[in-house]
Each structure stands twice: as C-alpha cells, then as structure tokens.
Amino acid sequence: MSNPEGTAPVLLRGLAALLAAALGAAIAWALVTLPPSSGLRDAVAAQIPASGVAHPVTAVLLNFRGYDTLLEVAVLLLALIATWSLRLARPPAGRNSPGLVLQDLVRLLVPLLIVLAGYLLWLGAHAPGGAFQAGALLAGAGVLLTLVEGRPLGPLAPAVLRGLAALGVAVFLAVALLVMGGGRLLEYPRGQAGLLILLIEAASTVSIGLALAYLFRGDEPAPPEHRR
C-alpha cells in the first residue's frame, strides 16, 4: 500500500491469495463430500397443489418462504432510500446528447420490454419467471430511458415516484397482515393464494424495476426547479 501504483505489498498479496485458495479448496471439499440428498424437493412437490402456483420456485419464493422475499423487496427499498439520501450523486448521462440511433432504438425497445416484463410476471406462476426477472426487464427499460432522457420516468411527480418505489413493500405487507386471520404472517387462505401471489408480484415488479432503474441514475427525483 506504499508503492506508487497503489497496490498492496507482494507478501500481503501472496498471503491473501493463499488464504483465498485455501477457502476455495475447503468449499470444494465440502461440496464433493456432501451426502447425496434431494433436499426439500419432495416436500415442495407434495405441497405444490396447495400453493396457488404451479412452478416450484415461485411457490417457495412467494408462499412457503414468502417472508424471505418480503425482506428482499424491503432491502431493495432501503438501498434506494439510502442512495437517494446521498445528495452528491449526479446523473451519469450528464450532458452528452444521445444519438438518433439510440433514441429510435429506445423508442422501439421500451414498449417491447414492458410487454416482456408483463409476460414474465404472468409466466412466473407455472414456469421460470416472476417478479424479480420482470422487474429487471422494467429496470433495463428505465436505464435506456435514463440514457436518452436523463431520468427513467421524467414526467412523474417525485411524490408519485416515491409511492411507486414503496408500492411493492406496501402491498406485500398489506397482504401479509390481511391474511393474518389464522394467526401467522403470509398464511394465504386456501384457494386465493394464486390471486394474492399475482397481486404481490405485480406490485413488486413495478417497485423493483423503479428501484433498480433509479439506483442506476443515482440521485433523488426532485422537481426540475430544485435541481442545480
């Protein structure tokens, strides 16, 4: 850490490499010597009919372990709030004007990405897909819009943006609390699990997409007169 290139001394780097190699070897050994097991696959497969969805991953994420997913969506919201609190962040697009090709490409791609996000969201009930993947597509659209317009959702008021960012956690929590009649959080009533999961996933998709897109942009949405 003293030489001009800003790198650590050779001895320290060698030690770090040795430790990393030892850790890697230990993990590989643990993996190879794992006893053969199907894990929880059979238990999940047995409960699929009661979960409201047909795809085991979605059943685990939104039903059996819905609590984990709720916390994941909340963590993403917290990250966004923390980023918005760092007022020094400036938009990466700056003043470089996007070319005509990029503008036209974005005009074609963004509607397509939105449709695809809806498709993935719907598909999540019985095939690989779901809220995070759909949200990532929406965020991709948001990043493209940021590159062209400077912000993902320019015309919307900041209060609306903040509401949309919190929508996923809000709907998730509301559903979790409303179905608490049986005494436990997120224990869906029989027969309505599919609908409730779709509702949660739809709200989460919007919030995840918005959060990821605004993490790329980096600063808080503020009305134009307050900026600069």
Partner 1 sequence: MDAAGSLTLGIIDGLIALAIIALAFGATAMRDLFAGVVLFIAMGLFMALAWVRLDAPDLALAEAGIGAGLAGALLLAAVRRLAGPAHPEGIGDDEQP
Q: Which of residues 66-105 bind partner 1 (CB under 8 A)?
A: 87-92, 94-96
Residue 129 touches partner 1, criterion: CB under 8 A: yes
Stretch of 44-52, 135-143, 149-157, 198-206 contacting partner 1, by CB under 8 A: 135-143
Residue 52 touches partner 1, criterion: CB under 8 A: no
Smallest separation (angstroms) from partner 1 to the CB of 216? 5
Stretch of 66-74, 103-111, 132-140, 198-206 contacting partner 1, by CB under 8 A: 132-140
Burial group, residue 156, by CB count within 10 angstroms (0-12, 13-18, 19+) = middle
Which residues, in sequence order, are CB contacts of 218 under 8 Å at separation 6+? 83, 89, 90, 91, 92
Residue 141 touches partner 1, criterion: CB under 8 A: no
What CA–CA distance (Å, rounded) separates 63 from 217? 33
Task: Identify the residue whose tokens are 């449709």.
Answer: 115
b or e along 113-136 (b: 16 or more beta carbons within 10 Å of the residue's beta carbon)? Answer: beebbeebbbbbbeeebbbbbbbb
Residue 132 touches partner 1, criterion: CB under 8 A: yes
Residues within the interface to partner 1 (CB under 8 A): 57, 87-92, 94-96, 120, 128-130, 132-133, 136-137, 139-140, 143, 212, 215-216, 218, 228
